[in-house]
Amino acid sequence: MKKILFANMPFDGHFNPLTGIAMHLKSQGHDVRWYSASFYEEKVKKLDIPFYPFKKAVEYDQHSMDEVFPERVEIQSQIKKLQLDIKNSFVLRAPEFFEDIQEINESWSFDLMISDVAFTAIPFVKEVLHKKVVAIGVFPLTENSKDLPPAGLGMTPSDTFFGRRKQDFLRMFADRVLFRESAAIFREMFRKYGIQPAKGNVFDVLGKKSDLLLQSGTPGFEYKRSDLSSHIRYVGALLPYSGKQMPLPDLGDKLNAYEKVILVTQGTLEKDPEKIIVPTLKAFKNSKHLVIATTGGSQTAELQKRFPEDNIVIRDFIPFNDIMPHCHVYVTNGGYGGVMLGIENKLPLVVAGIHEGKNEINARVDYFGLGIDLKTEFPSPEQISNSVQKVLSNSAFSNNVKKLSMEFKDYNPQQLCEKYINELLNIPAQGPDVYSEYL
C-alpha cells in the first residue's frame, strides 16, 4: 500500500470533490493524509484522516479574501480583480505550500500527492521532490486548445472561420496581456527552483505539469478538443463523500399537490439570498408550482417569515439525491458539483452565476442544451419565471439532460480514479479490467 498526501486550495469547491476519492483510497488500505488550511481540520478528522495544517502558507478562504488581501477591495473591474486574485491567492502562495509539504515529507515520505488542479505547488512537488502528482479537475477543463476560446471568459466555441480567428486572438491576448504578470511570476519561480518553465496561463501549466489529470465530468459535458493532452482522463461526476444521510424533511402531500416542483439553491458558500433564492420565491409564490429552497443555513428563518405561502418550502439543507427525483427544474448559481448532481438526476437547469468560474460551467449548460444561462449574478424574478417556464415547456432540455445522465451512469468515479492511480503507481490490477474502454 502507498502513502498518499491530499492537498487543496483553501476553497470548498476545491476540497469537497476530493473527499470521495480520499475515502475510497483509504478503504483500499492506503495511508491517506491531508494538507490544507486549518479550517478544514475538523472535516478531515471526521473522515478519520490525519491532517497537516498550513504553517508557512497564508490562511484565507473565499469569505476572507478582502481581509487577507485588502488591495482587492478598491478594485471595481472584475478582470483586474481576477488578475490580482490569481497572483495573490494562487501564484504567490506556491512556495509557501511547497515549503510546508517539504516539511511533511521529511517526517512522512509520501509516494503520491493528489490535489485539485489549481493547487499551485504541483510543479514543485513533482519536479523538486520527484513525487508522482495526480491533479483533480474540480471545474471544467482549463487546458488551452486551438479549438476553443481561452478558459475563464465564459465563452462558447465557434466553428466558423471568423469565430475561430477571434478565438485565436483571444487566447493570445489572454496569455500575453490579461494573465501575463501571473504567468511571468510563475516562470521566474520555476527558474529559481530549477524547474523547466512551461508556456500558457497558470491553470493550463498546472494541469500539464501533473503526471495525471483526472477530470470530474464526462466528455459529453466538455467542449470537443482535437489536441487534448494524453494524460487527461474523464472519471465521471466527483461529488463530496457522504456518510450518514440526513432524513428527507416531511413535506406531507406537497410533492404531489402541485403541477411542477422547482428546486432552488445558491449552494453553501453564497450568503446573499437576494441573488437567486429571493427572485425565485418572488417569481413563483402563490403559483401552481411548489418551490423548494435550500439556503445552506443562511437567513433561513427570515426567509420563512418573509415567504409564508403554502407553495413555498424553505430549509437549511435537504439531501439533494432524495429530493431531486421529485423535482422538474433546478435553479442554481452553477456550482460544478451541484450542476453535475442535477444532471445525474435528469433535471434541466436555469443557471445564474458569473464569479468563481461559474461563467464557464453555466456556459456549458446553455451550449449543450441542458438549460438556460441567464449570464448574471442578480437575475430578476421575471427572468427566472420566463426561463423556468421555457425549460418546463420545451422537452428538448429534459431530453438532453436525460441523455447526458445516461453517459454519467457509465462512469464509476471512485473505481476509475483508483484504476488510473494504480496504473501510475504500477500497482497490479485486481480482477478483470472492466474500464479499458475509457483509456
Mean pLDDT of 24-52: 97
Q: What is the pLDDT of residue 439?
A: 45
Digit-coded pLDDT (tens) for 99-125: 999 999 999 999 999 999 999 999 999
- Show the CA angle centred on residue 79, arms to residues 75 and 83, nearest 5°: 85
Q: Which three cell numbers stand for residue 339?
A: 450542476
- Phi then psi dihedrals of residue 27, to 5 deg: -70, -20
**Helices first, then strands: H and E counts in the chain:** 18, 13
Condensed to tens digits (0 to 9), the pLDDT of residues 243-260 reads 766 667 778 788 888 999
- Could you give the strand order of the β-sheet that contains 51-53, starting from the edge strand earlier in sequence? 51-53, 31-36, 3-7, 112-116, 132-137, 212-215, 232-234
Grid coordinates belonging to 301: 428563518
Residue type, position 79, single letter: I
pLDDT computed for residue 178 by the predictor = 86
* Mean pLDDT on 17-45: 96
Asked whether 295 and 316 are in contact (CB, 8 A), the reply is: yes
Q: What is the pLDDT of residues 141-152, one digit of tens each?
A: 999 999 999 988
Mean pLDDT, residues 286-296: 94
pLDDT digits (tens, 9 = 90+) for 49-94: 999 999 999 999 888 988 999 999 888 887 888 889 999 999 999 9
Greater model confidence, 299 or 397: 397
CA–CA distance, 103 with 50 (Å, rounded to integer): 15
| Residues 373/365, Cβ–Cβ less than 8 Å | yes
CA neighbor of 137 nearest in space, from 417, 437, 432: 417
> Is the pLDDT score of 306 beyond 50?
yes
Query: Per-residue pLDDT averaged across 315-343, rounded?
Result: 93
Mean pLDDT for 381-408 is 97
The mean pLDDT value for 257-275 works out to: 87
The model's pLDDT over 180-202, given as tens digits with 9 standing for 90+, comes to 999 999 999 999 999 988 888 89
Prediction pTM value: 0.92
- Sequence-distant (6+) residues with CB within 8 A of 121 are 7, 94, 97, 98, 101, 115
Mean residue pLDDT across the chain = 92
Q: Which helix (H) or strand (E) holds 280?
A: helix 277-284
